[in-house]
Amino acid sequence: MAFNFKKLDIPEVVLVTPDVFNDERGKFMELFKISAFRQCGIEKPFVQVNHSTSARNVLRGLHFQNSPKAQAKLVNVIRGEIFDVAVDLRRESAYYGKWIGAVLSSENRAMLYIPEGFAHGFCVLSEKSEVVYQCSNEYSKEHERGILWSDPRININWPVKTPILSEKDADLPTLEQANLNI
């Protein structure tokens, strides 16, 4: 079993594509193997797995957790298609405030690794989606934060112009207003 690891324009964000084995019975693939990820330099262990279901045009995010509960994530779509986004929140980074996006789907089987220090969000492109993501820290309400999906400073090119948002996500602060302690 193997994975293809492709560093994106923000090199700490990695597109992961697993080998998929097909036969007359169906398909098989590994979603995570610690030894393969460590060989690529991804060292954080995952301690929580989340499952989200959403309808077309739903936008979730941009979410993150402050230190000491910052989370790295490995995002996988098991049904449908999403546009997945990571925003660099590390003030010392040359990529601070920049975003990277990738289409993840149950067809392309691609996954996105998002390290600690990044906000994460996605919008649903298919009729319905199911997203499973592993996290390197457990959820902490005390450390939970977010950034407005439409912050003009970040200027994400979302493929959905009028998304369906939660009340909480619609009221998030901009990057400049956010309480960052990454």
Q: Alpha-carbon distance 106 to 172, whole Å?
A: 30
- Lowest mean pLDDT across 25-29, 49-53, 108-112, 139-143: 25-29
What tokens does 35 get?
């030894």
Break the chain into its structural domains and give their ranges.
3-170
Per-residue pLDDT tens over the stretch 138-148: 999 999 999 99
Query: Which residues have a catalytic role annotated?
Result: 63, 133
Instruction: State yes or no: cis peptide before 165, omega within 30 of 0.
Output: no
Average pLDDT, the chain: 96
Residue 66 makes CB contacts below 8 A (sequence gap 6+) with: 143, 145, 179, 180, 181, 182
What is the homologous superfamily of the domain 3-170 according to CATH? Jelly Rolls (2.60.120.10)
Distance of CA 5 to the CA centre of its chain: 15
Per-residue pLDDT tens over the stretch 104-154: 999 999 999 999 999 999 999 999 999 999 999 999 999 999 999 999 999
Identity of the amino acid at 168: K
**pLDDT number for residue 80:** 98
- Confidence category of residue 1, pLDDT binned at 50, 70, 90: low
